[in-house]
Amino acid sequence: MPSRRRLHLIRTLNLAWPVVISQASHMLITFCDTLIVGRIGEVELAASALASSITSVLLVFSIGFSFPISSLVAQSVGERDQHKTIQLFKHGMLMCLILGTIVVLGGLMAMPLLQYLRQPEEVMVILPPFMLQLLLSLLPVMIYQGFRQFIEGLGDTRPAMIAGLLTVGINVGLNYVFIFGYFGFTAQGVVGSGMASHVARWFLALSLGAYILTQPKYRVYWQSFFETPFRIGVMRELVKFGFPISLQLVFEVAVFSAAAIMIGWISPQALAAHQSVLTLAGLTYMAASGIGTATSIRAGNFFGARDNVQLRLASQTGIRLAATFMAGCSILLIAFHKLIPWLFLHEAGSVLIASQLLLVAALFQVADGVQVVLLGALRGINDVKYPTLITLVAYWVVAMPLGYILAFWFDLAALGVWIGLCLGLFGASITLFFRLKYQLRVLDKRLPTMAPEPATVMIAH
């Protein structure tokens, strides 16, 4: 009979691998966009990097509010409370729809502020129309997130993976159609890449919605959607946990956006190198993020079932799995740091900068992967406030000031910015580890410990 640790590894992997592929597919879209836009020119790639960095702040702030849906649904599964699950579905979808609309409108009203970013003139000419497409695409992303977080909380992680993989192909095809003007369409250049992302994200949302609507196992949730009364308490609970998670994500993503702006002060070549390395590092991060999602779901199950032994084992399994995976990625980045940049860039100066940044990215791979799993485990037990403070200090008190000092006072340029980011990620990872260790000790004292894992905890579809 398999040991408990082996069972946790198997079940975490069963949940995680579709999430990993789903997360990676979203980054693969950015990866392909970068490759295709890079063929147009480095000015276009720099504009794409800047627009993506800015809109990513709005994106992660929005989707952060959806994360508690999966954690709270997982807890309701552990508690065997179907009525609460139905309430979370309705209120989660309403929250995502409302927030998506607000963020899009807010982003559109803030677009005139782009002129104050002090970027090269040739970049600013093509930035606004590209950003417009990315902003409009945030609404379908939020609709998709509502669907996705709900079914993932129920343990159904494969549909989002399939939708994500299909979207990669659609996005790549539309990139060529809109950028270069195939099948009768007018060539739009880099703006066409934004148009492709916009259309692809609507496909993502509608396809996942169609899946839930047509599957018999979800009929009870659809049938109860309009019958279930609106409860301000449920919405308040989602916002209570969602807002700190959004801040966590914003603190991390915004620091990379600020890094992009600072590197843009150096040169378009440095910004292009930054974007190429960030895209690659994002692929490995999203894989670790998938493990973090699986860990959050399993931690939520056992937290709801009040089973501290299994909760501890689930958290440890996720951390070890992420650390092992990211260590392998680190080795590969170091081994091929001089070759990988040529996939994105075509000028020797940009390639040299990117190869240096890849070495720094390789150093923080394990810390980056472990910290996202730690955040997932803490989210599964409803601990979001202190982790938010930890990320604030790590990224904005440590990483950003150090990056600026190393880049401009010590003339390390883009490399200095990335060294600052590396130190901030290490600080976050270490501090979050001790936070989880403390919380598990507290739960050991507060909650009774149950014996082996009940099978019903993990049946959720």
pLDDT exceeds 70 at position 392: yes
pLDDT exceeds 60 at position 205: yes
pLDDT exceeds 70 at position 448: no
Is the pLDDT higher at 285 or at 145?
Answer: 145
Angle CA(361)–CA(363)–CA(365) in degrees, nearest 5?
Answer: 70
Share of the chain above pLDDT 70, in %: 94
Q: Which residues of 109-124 are buried (b: 16+ CB within 10 A; e: fewer)?
A: eeeeeeeeeebbeebe
pLDDT exceeds 70 at position 449: no
Question: Token pair for residue 222?
Answer: 């659809």
Mean pLDDT of all residues belonging to the chain? 85
Question: DSSP alpha helices (H): ranges in 116-231?
Answer: 121-136, 138-153, 158-180, 190-214, 219-223
pTM: 0.81
pLDDT exceeds 60 at position 459: no
Q: Which residues of 61-78 are buried (b: 16+ CB within 10 A; e: fewer)?
A: bbbbbbbbbbbbbbbbbb
CA-based nearest residue to 208, from 267, 269, 156: 156
Which pLDDT value is given to residue 10? 77
pLDDT exceeds 60 at position 124: yes
CA-based nearest residue to 299, from 287, 310, 286: 310
Half-sphere exposure of 382 (CA within 13 A, CB side): 14
CA distances from 238 to 42, 160, 232, 395 (A): 42, 22, 10, 25
pLDDT exceeds 90 at position 351: no
**Confidence class for position 453, pLDDT limits 50, 70, 90:** very low
Averaged over 95-102, what is the pLDDT? Answer: 94
Contact assessment for residue 36 and residue 116, using Cβ atoms and an 8 Å cutoff:
no
Residue 454: CB atoms within 10 A of its CB come to 16
Contact assessment for residue 208 and residue 163, using Cβ atoms and an 8 Å cutoff:
yes
Contact assessment for residue 203 and residue 166, using Cβ atoms and an 8 Å cutoff:
yes
Please tell me the distance from the alpha carbon of residue 425 to that of residue 245, in angstroms, as a whole number.
Answer: 17
Domain count for the chain: 1
pLDDT tens-place string over residues 139-188: 999 999 999 999 999 989 899 999 989 998 998 899 888 888 787 777 77
**Confidence class for position 381, pLDDT limits 50, 70, 90:** very high
Residue 220: CB atoms within 10 A of its CB come to 13
Mind giving me the DSSP string for 223-274?
Answer: HTTTTSPP-HHHHHHHHHHHHHHHHHHHHHHHHHHHHHHHHHTT-HHHHHHH
Residue 316: CB atoms within 10 A of its CB come to 16
Mind giving me the DSSP string for 18-63?
Answer: HHHHHHHHHHHHHHHHHHHHHHH-HHHHHHHHHHHHHHHHHHHHHH
**Confidence class for position 432, pLDDT limits 50, 70, 90:** very high
Averaged over 82-98, what is the pLDDT? Answer: 92
Which pLDDT value is given to residue 447? 60
Provide the domain limits for residue 150: 4-458
Question: Token pair for residue 425?
Answer: 């990620």
CA distances from 244 to 71, 152, 236, 439, 442 (A): 14, 20, 13, 17, 21
Is the pLDDT higher at 25 or at 394?
Answer: 394
pLDDT exceeds 90 at position 255: no
Please tell me the distance from the alpha carbon of residue 323 to that of residue 237, in angstroms, as a whole number.
Answer: 32
Which pLDDT value is given to residue 2? 56
Please tell me the distance from the alpha carbon of residue 298 to that of residue 259, in angstroms, as a whole number.
Answer: 34
Which pLDDT value is given to residue 398? 94
Is the pLDDT higher at 226 or at 42?
Answer: 226
Please tell me the distance from the alpha carbon of residue 216 to that of residue 202, in angstroms, as a whole number.
Answer: 24
Which pLDDT value is given to residue 280? 81
